[in-house]
Amino acid sequence: MFYAYVFFLIASGVLMLVMGILRAPYARRSRVVNLIMGAGFAIYGLYLLLFFQGGHYILFFYAFALPVLMTVRFFRARSAYQAAQSMTPGGPGGYGQPPAGYGQPGGYGQPGGYGQPPAGYGQPSGYGQPPAGYGQPGGYGQQPPFQP
């Protein structure tokens, strides 16, 4: 029973140290708690394993519950962070959502000319007339006209 408790102390301490060392943007607040508790559990477990000669030792019930609670809290914060990232306009869209920036800047609204026929639809082309903007130099910051 003693060595199982010592092993669990060391393993849970190392697990909490790993969660505390990760520089995840979603776990900033709990990093300090994970580091302090993980160091405490690991040091106490190593003390019991290496230097304890027998006699009376303190059995922390938190050694069984706290690592589980901290792991659940870590992954819950991770899933909340990922959900918040998917809801931002610059993030990936959800299921059935058009991609950000669809149609207008800012990602809202209908695409330009929605429901309208394309320009020149059903109109006779002007025979012998050059297309609009033909031969004109493009202005500053503008693209040249499309040439087939």
**The residue to which tokens 């405490």 are assigned:** 40
CA distance 91 to 75: 20
The whole-number pLDDT of residue 105 equals 52
The whole-number pLDDT of residue 47 equals 92
CA distance 28 to 22: 9
pLDDT tens per residue, the chain (148 residues)? 888 888 989 999 999 899 888 877 776 777 888 899 899 999 999 999 998 888 887 787 877 888 888 888 888 888 888 888 888 765 554 555 555 555 545 545 555 555 555 565 555 555 666 555 555 555 566 666 677 6
The whole-number pLDDT of residue 141 equals 62
The whole-number pLDDT of residue 57 equals 79
The whole-number pLDDT of residue 10 equals 93
**The residue to which tokens 């580091």 are assigned:** 35
pTM over 0.85: no
CA distance 148 to 96: 35
Which residues lie closer than 8 Å to 68 by C-beta, 6 or more apart?
none
CA distance 71 to 84: 20
The whole-number pLDDT of residue 142 equals 62
The whole-number pLDDT of residue 45 equals 92
CA distance 15 to 21: 10
The whole-number pLDDT of residue 101 equals 52
